[in-house]
Amino acid sequence: MKRIIVTTSGKGGVGKTTVTANLGMALARLGRKIVLVDADFGLRNLDLLLGLENRIVYTAMEVVSGECRLEQALVRDKRESGLVLLPAAQNRNKEAITAEQMKQLVDSLTQMYDYVVIDCPAGIEMGFKNAIAGAKEALIVTTPEIAAVRDADRVIGLLEAQGIKNIHLIVNRLRPAMVQVNDMMSVQDVQEILSIPLIGVVPEDERVIVSTNRGEPLVLSETASLAGTAFDHIARRLEGEKVEFLDLEPTQDNFFARLRKLLFSII
């Protein structure tokens, strides 16, 4: 069964592109053939997070306008041969591609890849509608903030109206110490509002930012990190593996339990 998944959120800046890049890399490391589609026309940055920006020759725009073949636009990852990127055009507006064209692109990609993961632009306008046009599943990314959760809720409604019923939640940038003193919503709070199944919780981690700047998704890092492990676990859960959620509670007692869990998940 081919998987066509859109990573979406409503609100911008919550981690869609970060999730897409790490998930792509993690799935490729599990031996899957995967294509990441940058549907953020005008503001593309998936290529940067993957460190592939200098390798772009053609984009989805040239494929759609018939200036090149689909295979010519695909950029192969330098580290994982199973991973490729279909870049978005940088200077076009979000209406540059129609929903029908997007569907056709995604259809052609499913002939060649196990997973097609589409990185959505912010908002719920035309760019969003085009990005979800060919998708069968969705990953909703939100931070534990009320504005992000409210936008996520709205997006879930729009996805369901579009016939996308297989929707999973990723809570990103969780800060357990803040949750503990009631300064941040807990994962449970977010889940209660959105009532869709949880597939991942990613803690706030400055290594995510460092890895972004280097163009090396965190899942590639040789030193273990909770955020990198969380991304890897999302990939495994998508594959149908039962993986326990990481214990992110910040108490002293839990530190060793957390370390033990992390070590177990690596070996």
Q: Going edge to edge, which strands form the sheet with 83-86?
A: 75-76, 83-86, 34-38, 115-119, 3-8, 137-142, 166-174, 198-203
Query: Binding pattern to ligand ADP, positions 136-165, x when CB under 6 A?
Result: ------------------------------
Residues 6+ apart with CB under 8 A from 223: none
Tokens of 5: 């998944």
Rule CB under 6 A: choose which of 13, 31, 157, 197 binds ligand ADP: 13
Q: Residue 252: in which H helix or E strand, if any?
A: helix 252-266
Cβ proximity of 26 and 199 under 8 Å: no
Concatenate the DSSP letters of all residues of 7-56 into one string: EE-SSSSSSHHHHHHHHHHHHHHTT--EEEEE--TTS--HHHHTT-GGG-
Residue 172 binds which entry of Mg ion, ligand ADP, none, CB below 5-8 Å type-dependent: ligand ADP
Least separation in angstroms between CB 111 and ligand ADP? 27
**212 is in the binding site of which of Mg ion, ligand ADP, none (Cβ under 5 to 8 A by kind)?**
ligand ADP
Q: Which position among 50, 70, 156, 202 is part of the footprint of ligand ADP (CB under 6 A)?
A: 202
Q: How far is the CB of 49 from Mg ion (least distance, A)?
A: 9
Contact call for residues 63 and 88 (beta carbons, < 8 A)? no
Q: Figure out which of the listed residues 57, 177, 209, 224 binds ligand ADP, where binding follows CB under 6 A.
A: 209
Does the protein bind ligand ADP through residue 24 (CB under 6 A)?
no
d(CA 82, CA 24): 9
Euclidean distance between CA atoms 247 and 237, whole angstroms:
16
CB of 212 to Mg ion, least distance (A): 11
CB atoms < 10 A from the CB of 90, how many?
Answer: 17
Binding piece for ligand ADP, criterion CB under 6 A, among 50-58, 130-138, 204-212, 241-249: 204-212
Locate 206 and state its tokens: 């400055």
Residues 7-26, mask of contacts with Mg ion (x by CB under 5 A): ---------xx---------
Contact pattern for ligand ADP over residues 72 through 101, marking x by CB under 6 A:
------------------------------
Q: Which is nearer to ligand ADP, 70 or 201 (CB)?
A: 201
User: What does the binding site for ligand ADP look like in residue numbers (CB under 6 A)?
Assistant: 9, 12-18, 122, 172-173, 202, 204-205, 208-209, 212, 227
In the complex, the residues that contact Mg ion under the rule CB under 5 A are: 16-17
